[in-house]
Amino acid sequence: MSKNNSLNIIRTDGPGDRLLIAIQENSMTQKKFAQLIGMSPNGLNSIIKGKKRLSRVLAIATERLTGVRADWILQNEQPKTIDALKELDPWARLILEYFQNEHEKVHDYVFREIEQKASDLKHGLEKDKIWSEEERNRFDDLLREVRGYIQFFLGSEEGWAPNMFIYLVMSFRYERSELEGSWLGMESDASKSEKMSRVWEIREEMSLLLNKNTNLKGLVHGNRSCLYKNLKKIQIIN
């Protein structure tokens, strides 16, 4: 065998080698994969090179994103792949939907949707349908706070789990009981985390603010007088 051919052999000796195969077979770079799961590229590279342990949590996440089985990644146990869409429950399919979009990162997708929902309330022409300065400032503060939690978790080895949980919460598509009972909620220890509880509070406050426009879809609905009463209660408006 020539030297050049030997260099093209794909190693499958260790979990890190097999994780790399799962990433490459799904046409992703290490950098893109790291961004999508909320890890630093350096942290992912250390796992691939065997300098850090590849946790079962990360292996399960990779399985659900790529269809390459966690047990194959961890232990080289056959079969190698699953039918990913058939195995996923609805909320996990949403994650897969985000990841399959070649031009989007989950973070950008989720927060752009939030900003779009807020746009008319920030910049609309009808005075009775736009936010006051206090409401705009409150919304921006809430957005910065939740981004801060994502940044907090980003540097940790298991940061992908709480971050992906936050993205799902902030998609406004799921109830708390549904997400906290999911495998990602359990891996994030979401039901016991003070930070996660605060993220739910942020979503609720944003829902109240966003529902000043009753035409918005996918959020908590209620009549305007009730919403204003709740907003006053949490001191968002006077």
pLDDT in tens, 57-86: 888 888 877 889 899 999 988 888 876 455
For residue 36, pLDDT over 50 is answered with: yes
Q: How many CB atoms lie within 10 A of CB 184?
A: 23
- Is this model's pTM higher than 0.85 or not? no
Contact 237, 136 (CB under 8 A): no
Contact 33, 23 (CB under 8 A): yes
pLDDT in tens, 169-228: 998 888 888 888 877 777 777 667 888 899 999 999 999 999 874 443 333 333 333 333
Domains of the chain (ranges plus CATH)?
Answer: 3-87 (1.10.260.40), 106-233 (no CATH)
Query: What pLDDT, on a 0 to 100 scale, did the predictor assign at position 91?
Result: 53
- C-alpha 24/C-alpha 50 separation (Å) is 17
pLDDT in tens, 122-159: 887 777 778 988 999 999 999 999 999 888 887 666 56
Of the candidates 91, 90, 110, the residue with the CA atom closest to the CA atom of residue 36? 110
Across the range 110-129, mean pLDDT stands at 84
- C-alpha 54/C-alpha 157 separation (Å) is 9
